[in-house]
Amino acid sequence: MRGHEVTLLRSESATAHLPPPQVRVASFRSTFDLASRFLEYSSDEPIAIFHAAAVSDFTVGLVYQREEGNRLRAVCSSKFSTRSGNLLVELRPTPKLLPGLREWFPSALIYGWKFEVEGDREAAIDAGLRQIQEGRLDGCVVNGPAHGDGFTLVEAIGRRESISSPGELYSLLGRRLVAH
């Protein structure tokens, strides 16, 4: 609406409303698929990336069946029968995409998002600051139950702003984009 060309990388399983028609939408299925989308769009141009959500922290690994003596045996099947009893599923961490964005978009304004569930506001903000350092980001939006109401925008340059509403957050991010 402000004249920027916008591409939304949106999960195929997303339930949020679709954006306005002037926003180009590219869908993805998994963390690995999203990484390939980012690589497809990689650029030295001074663009902005607002990475607002983790795709999935884990992916399914091996499936195990418990044997006598509590030993686990890996099992493989295209369909598991309920007659086999309980199965145990390994969850493997997926790679973090944020730390790779600076390499793929060296001139971009990059903001991450940190939704924290446990701890308090300061612990949530500290997690956002760690995300900035680890990902070489320009800033991070922090919110979630640990943070409490509203948002805090923390930035690599040391600036920190409390924001009470999504509209106020979008306006502030828009100003950061224009300044970039």
- ∠ Cα 22 24 28 (to 5°): 150
Q: Per-residue pLDDT tens for 138-170?
A: 999 999 999 999 999 999 999 999 999 999 999
Q: In Å, how far from its chain's centre is CA 119?
A: 20
- What is the average per-residue pLDDT within 97-126? 95
Distance in angstroms (rounded) separating the CA atoms of residues 73 and 28: 33
Provide the greatest CA pair distance for the chain: 65
Is 33 strand, coil or helix? helix
Percent of the chain with pLDDT over 90: 68
pLDDT for 83: 87
Classify 7-56+95-179 by CATH class.
alpha beta
Q: Is the pLDDT of residue 113 over 90?
A: yes
Measured in residues, the chain has a length of 180
pLDDT for 3: 81
Q: Is the pLDDT of residue 2 over 80?
A: no
- What is the average per-residue pLDDT within 116-138? 96
Is 91 strand, coil or helix? strand
Distance in angstroms (rounded) separating the CA atoms of residues 98 and 31: 11
Q: Per-residue pLDDT tens for 60-78?
A: 999 999 998 889 999 998 8
- What is the average per-residue pLDDT within 46-71? 88
Tokens found for residue 97: 């995409």
- ∠ Cα 102 105 109 (to 5°): 80
Provide the residue ranges of all domains of the chain, joining segments of one domain with +.
7-56+95-179, 59-92
- What is the average per-residue pLDDT within 13-31? 90
